[in-house]
Amino acid sequence: MKPRIDINTERDINRIKVVLVEHKKTNKWLAEQLGKDPATISKWCTNSSQPSVGTLMQIAKCLNVEVKDLLHPVDKVMMPHGGQLDLTRIICVTQIEEQWESFKDFMSSMLS
């Protein structure tokens, strides 16, 4: 089971809605491109939830932009206890976890 990281911020993390508007695309269009429920896209666009790093990469490809264009330029997020969380580390850890899961699946298939 993957650990979940809960980030409470006063700022939006992604700017998916802004980029959709800039490209004259709708939430419905993005949902169709990704094969996702439009309600999921809406949650991303309102920043009430966040897509995975892999999904951000898919969104960037659909919109022909860089992943960084989909994110607000924030290096650190303030936590409720007053500390700071380094987003770069979260992204790296998430990518490592995803690669580890892929590797485990590959090894399982080889041993089956």
State how far the Cα of 20 lies from the Cα of 36, in Å rounded to an integer. 16
State how far the Cα of 64 lies from the Cα of 94, in Å rounded to an integer. 23
Predicted local distance difference test score (pLDDT) of residue 34 = 96
List the chain pLDDT tens, one digit each, 112 residues.
444 444 444 567 889 999 999 999 999 999 999 999 999 999 999 988 899 888 999 999 999 999 888 887 755 555 555 565 555 555 555 556 666 777 777 777 777 6
Q: Which is nearest to 104 in space by CA: 112, 90, 91?
A: 112
All domains of the chain in start order, with CATH: 12-72 (1.10.260.40), 74-112 (no CATH)
Predicted local distance difference test score (pLDDT) of residue 23 = 96
DSSP code, position 35: T
What would the pLDDT profile of 53-82 be if each residue is shown by its tens digit? 889 999 999 999 998 888 877 555 555 555
